[in-house]
Amino acid sequence: MISVIKWPLILCGGFLAVTFAGAAIMGQELERAKSRVLATLGYGASSSGTGTVAGLPDDVGAPRGSVAGLPGYTPPSVHPVNGRGTRIGLIYYPRIAGETPFPYIDRGIEWNLDQVLDEYPMKINYAFRPTWQQARIYAAHLRSPNPNGVAPPGSSIHEAGSAIDTNFRRIGLQAQLRKIAVFHRYGFEWRGRFTLRGLGGDPVHFQIEPERIGWPSRFDAIRHNQRQYRALSGDTR
């Protein structure tokens, strides 16, 4: 016979079991709902697929290695992007001046970013980033890890000028989904993902791989555009 004292414990345990089971089911349903919405926008649950820039391959793998020791690279003067004659190489981009400390982008994504900002005006926190600044951010990340992750200096797409960081975590789900859809429509890959615990990956970050706009590798783009930045800005660090 179960004692009177044990009955409350049994009832409490049963209540907690039902509560946890219900929470797990709700979480699964929420994840399925997000997956359905993202699938409608052209994304899987992890949003790991790349966007498409018309006329360019979308299966170029990201190179691995170090920027140190690579030969200098001078890009061709004109490379077609979206059927338009577009020069590649770093340029000053006045639409984000005053928002980011380094208002430069690779010219190869100029048309794409113009379309994004025309359709969905937003604040840009970072676009191009000089290697010395990437080194500072990476050192801070090693002391106190950034939940978005930070690439080692010499390897970030920001150093190549074809990545964008924008506000994301606190703007609400509908705004997040709209922002992903607009960037995706114009060829940018979202580097974040939705998880049961919230956002994973690097949700503030959107990019177009340098290989997809005419560079042999990201490291060629980094070397050239870092040199171009020093010429444009006079920054010799």
pLDDT tens figures, 97-108? 999 999 999 998
Buried/exposed code over 71-86 (b: 16+ C-beta within 10 A; e: otherwise): eeeebeeebebeeeeb
pLDDT at 50: 34
User: 170-177 long-range contacts, Cβ below 8 Å, gap at least 24?
Assistant: 176/203, 177/37, 177/38, 177/41
pLDDT at 116: 92
Answer yes or no: are the C-beta atoms of 143 and 178 closer than 8 Å.
no
Amino acid (one-letter) located at 122: M
CA atoms of 222 and 211, how far apart (whole Å): 12
CA atoms of 153 and 159, how far apart (whole Å): 8
Give the burial class of 225: count Cβ atoms within 10 A of its Cβ; 0-12 exposed, 13-18 middle, 19 or more buried: buried
pLDDT at 199: 86
Residues of the chain with pLDDT under 50: 37-86
CA atoms of 222 and 155, how far apart (whole Å): 8
| Residues 6+ away with beta carbon under 8 Å from 66 | 154, 155, 219
CA atoms of 123 and 24, how far apart (whole Å): 36
